[in-house]
Structure 1
Amino acid sequence: MAIALKQGKAVEPHEDHGFFGPDSVTWKVWSYPTSLTVGFQRAVVIEELDPALVAAVETTNDVRYRPRTRYDRTLRYFAMVAFGDTRSTSKAADVLVRIHSKAIGTDPVTGIRYDANDPDSQLWIHLTAWHSILKAYEMFGPGKLSAADEAQYWRECKIAAELQTCDQADIPTSREELHAYYEKMRPQLLGSKIATDMMAHLLDARVMLPPVPKVLTPASWAVGRLLRAATISTMPRWMREMGGCRQSRLVDIAVRPIMRVAFWSAQVHPRIELALLGYLSPATVPVVAPILLGIEPSNPETLTPAQARERYGYQRPREAHLEFRARQAERVFGNGGRPSDEGLLESQEILGPVS
């Protein structure tokens, strides 16, 4: 049964509990308002330190010239992985492989070829996202998880990785393994001008927000500065230095109680949190609303990604659309042309319009 929000829009129940469900740590952490705000902003900012990834982002120019659209679509996808039903999320994961087949080329800084479907690139995106969501929850939400909950969180992170081209053997099972991964990645990361410019762009929350009346411009500026300060405060010093994100320890300390109170106030009632989410990312509201409002799915079951692939007829992302990806590669590397937009256009039904 659908439930109406105040705006009159009906919230439809999901088909099932998705890949995690109400007893998961994923729902506990990702449903707190820190996740799709500071957590998400942190993830997309530090991702840019990967030269292959930033080259792919720079080539499409979506983040720079259509930031709000890109933000809305990307946030919707991350929310689907955490909260969406297995049918629609499996479809989204499958079409994402086709979208990423467009993000291929040669990095002008390092001279290496990049491919958004590359397992190493996908691993970097996946881990920075899951760690950033947890980090924001710890710093500006209820605090650190228990040892048992954190262990479960990383097990669930591994489940979510099955929806991408990552190698399961590479997924950390603990915070220590995650830190070891970052240390392994450090020599490969690069604070190039392209990366630092993009990070500065993404740290300005106003590029993600809808236009506001002139009278609210000062408030919008203040919110943007707070989110920027909060996001930078979650980053280790070496990442800040590499990305040119300067901020004093005094600001790090001062922003924490302000944001903790703000996020606590936002989660007092789910409709407040949904109103905030609707302002930030309208496309994400239908995915998150059934969970925040406690609307039971049509079929209260959870599936593994493997069970979902078998039920709905999808291949593992790593093995999906190989012929299509090969054609895209031939267009770019063989013929020196531009890749097809087929996957991007197909995704509009699932992730929302591209413009």
Structure 2
Amino acid sequence: MTGGTTVVANPASVAVDQAFDVLIRRNFFKGVAFDAPEGDPGWFGPDSAVWYVHEHTPALVLGLFASAAIETLHPDFAWMGQQHSRGVRWVNGEPSGLDLKGLLTRAGHSYSFFMAVAYGPSHAADRVVRTVRGMHGTVRGERPDGRAYDAADPETLRWAYATVVWGIATAHERYHPRPLRGADLDVYYREFTRVGEALGGTDLPATKSEVRDCLRASIPLMGVTMPTVEFLAGLGGAVSPAPLRPALRMLQWAVLDLQPRWAQRLLRVPRSSSTSIRLHRAAMWSALNGIHYAAGPLPETRAARARVGLPTTTRLLPRPTA
């Protein structure tokens, strides 16, 4: 995977990488080689904001969970997820809460997709996008109220794109030790439209302000449905082994804290004191960055760097505004 690059890793890095291998790499990176062809920068390349933002794996994963949470407030997406997602447990033909293993499978597919389009060579990014676009074409059905949904509908794709780029960028702003801000962060928003357009999206929001307006304009469509309740209950550890529940409750808090205020009101998130919020955010910042620095660069990002002739053990710094 690393193209023969030798990296001396500390024990913590080895432990994190082994856990990542068991949970993600061996299941979801099949057929994606990050180390060839030599010199191929992929869709974005090492000078991009995308490489910088996606390198912080814990913040990226948190952002994807945040986007999944806000998606459940859209009834079309809520029922689409329940009827087509592996994250739902079915008993006698009826949904019966979340399936933790299936939810992790969904998260693994999402994470590996965003790593492949960011760091993979061009042909790999093209291939995973074609695969996901093909899958979207099969996600059609009806909500319980009879309204039809279609994952390939242009407005559906636009809203889904806005939730994903918002989730990743917002988690990056709050938890990255050196986050991009202002015009530099808007570079990320503009670059990432390439992914949304490749998936079939049109007229995509291309700045932080445009994404915020897109999400805010959807408020009249939003509502809490059973899939919303089940997703948040599962995220809080209701269906997980007892030893994992404290960490999952911390994750749930961070996901809800990232939501826009209008979404928090809809979800009836209790208002906490400013002191409590600061303490919780500081604890989450320490946990996410502790994992990030203990792990070191993942083999996939090291391989991508080696592919374009960069050192494999140093971290990327924010690039200046173009």
**3-state SS of 1:105 partner:** strand
Give 3-state SS (helix, strand or coil) of 2:293's partner.
coil
Instruction: Give yes or no for the alignment of 1:179 onto 2:205.
Output: no
So what's the TM-score if we normalise by structure 1? 0.68
Point out the more displaced range, 5-14 or 68-77: 5-14
Q: Distance in 2 between matches of 1:124 and 1:2?
A: 41
Instruction: Give the structure 2 partner of residue 260 of structure 1.
Output: 285
Residue in structure 1 matching 2:144, options 89, 108, 113: 108
Using the TM superposition, give the Cα deviation of residue 36 of structure 1 relative to its aligned residue in structure 2, in angstroms.
2.9
The structure 2 residue matched to 1:222, chosen from 246, 255, 263, is 246
Alpha-carbon distance change, 223 to 85 in structure 1, aligned in 2, over 3 angstroms: same
Q: Summarize the alignment of residues 54-133 of structure 1 with structure 2, pairs less than 5 Å apart.
A: 54-64=78-88, 65=99, 66-109=102-145, 111-133=146-168
Aligned-CA RMSD value: 2.9
Aligned residue in 2 for 1:43 = 67
Give the TM-score normalised by the residue count of structure 2: 0.75
Matched positions, count: 273
Residues 61 and 156 of structure 1: CA distance in aligned 2, closer, same or farther (over 3 Å) = closer
Q: Counterparts of 2:83 and 2:181 in 1: how far apart (Å)?
A: 42
Cα 1:54/1:289, change in 2 over 3 Å: same
The one-letter code matched in structure 2 to 1:43 is: S
How far the C-alpha of 1:70 sits from its partner, in A, is: 1.6
Partner residue in 2 for 1:204: 236
> CA, structure 1 residues 251+235, in 2 after alignment: closer, same or farther (shift >3 Å)?
farther
Aligned 8 A contact 2:162 2:214 in 1: no
Q: Deviations over 1:143-200 (max 9, x none)?
A: 5524331231121022222221110x2x223222222212211111222233232333
Once the two structures are superposed, what CA deviation does each residue of 1:35-57 show, in whole Å capped at 9, x if it has no partner?
Answer: 33321110111111111111111
Q: Which range moved further: 39-48 or 66-75?
A: 66-75
Stretches of structure 1 lacking an aligned partner (at least 5 in a row)? 212-216, 275-287, 301-355
Q: Give the alignment partner of residue 193 of structure 1, picking from 226, 238, 257.
A: 226
Tell which deviates more after alignment, 7-16 or 126-135.
7-16
The answer for the alignment partner of 1:349 in structure 2 is: none
Three-state SS of the structure 2 residue aligned to 1:267 is helix
Structure 1 residue 294, shift from structure 2 partner:
6.2
* TM-fit CA distance, 1:299: 9.1
Cα separation, partners in 2 of 1:299 and 1:115, compared to 1, 3 Å? farther
Distance 1:206 1:295 in 2: 40
| Structure 2, unpaired ranges of 5+ | 8-13, 26-32, 89-98, 311-322
Map of 1:290 onto structure 2: 300
The code of the aligned residue for 2:43 comes to: F
